[in-house]
Amino acid sequence: MRGLSARDSGSDASGAGGIRAAGTTAMAVAAAIGLLTVGCSTGGTGTRDEGAARADQSTPTSAPPPGSSSSPVKKVNAVRLIMNDPKVSDRVKDDLKPCVEDAYPVDTSYGTLTDSGTPDVVVNVLTCGDAVGVGTYVYRLGDAKDDAKGTTYENVFSLEEPAVYSAIDRGDLIVTKQVYAEGDPVSYPSGEDVITYRWTGNKFTEHDRVHNEYSKTVGDGGIDGPGEPPAPSKN
């Protein structure tokens, strides 16, 4: 800026002196511009800082770790759980035999029911012939302080009744029990109880219960159940 002031003052001179003053002023302006350019590129903090910011932005950074995919569920030997569980009755254990070769009549589900931090295991034991549930159990992974390897499961729910079955539904344990009236065949119960359990503290507590009555007019294969109308005669 000082160069611009010198140029203004030299504009009043005349003749060679004026020309020399003008030339001197032009050189001073050029020199000042050059100094400003050098100063901005090397000594000026503002432009240098801005350049560093751009360099930082263009510097490759380590890529974020890819989103971890869902870990595969750690499968358990459901038959071994049942056989080694002291809470399972001898009757269920004695009847639990392979239906075909080494295929046992057990259904296994994995999901979140308790606050263990790992998937809980629901095991349903069925009959081979008609797949009727005879026992249902929930196993929870033992606490780390009790099980250093994290492989011991504890029985936190069990129910052994004819035609009982459990499933996991959005964090709830849904237990379905078939209800039989006197004279009902195993394949055609009179109704069912659907009970919802939730984990509270350190145990399951009943949250809801629904009872359904089945119709006696269909699905009996020609067998007259209690209270149902007789089959129409074929005349």
Let me know if 32 is exposed, middle or buried by CB neighbors in 10 A (0-12, 13-18, 19+): middle
Return the pLDDT at 219: 57
Return the pLDDT at 217: 77
Non-local CB neighbours of 60 within 8 Å, separated by 6+ positions? none
Return the pLDDT at 71: 56
Could you say which residues of the chain have pLDDT below 70?
1-72, 143-151, 218-235
Let me know if 68 is exposed, middle or buried by CB neighbors in 10 A (0-12, 13-18, 19+): exposed
What is the C-alpha to C-alpha distance for residues 139 and 79, in angstroms, rounded to an integer? 13
Name the residue among 163, 222, 154 with its Cα closest to residue 194.
163
Residues 195, 136 contacting (CB under 8 angstroms): no
The per-residue pLDDT for range 151-189, each reduced to its tens digit, is 689 999 999 998 999 999 999 999 999 999 988 887 788
The per-residue pLDDT for range 201-218, each reduced to its tens digit, is 899 999 999 999 998 776
The residue type found at 123 is: V
Strands, DSSP E only, in the chain? 106-111, 120-126, 133-141, 153-159, 164-169, 172-179, 191-200, 203-213
Return the pLDDT at 234: 54
Name the residue among 110, 202, 124 with its Cα closest to residue 161.
124
Return the pLDDT at 209: 97
Return the pLDDT at 70: 54
pTM across the whole model: 0.61
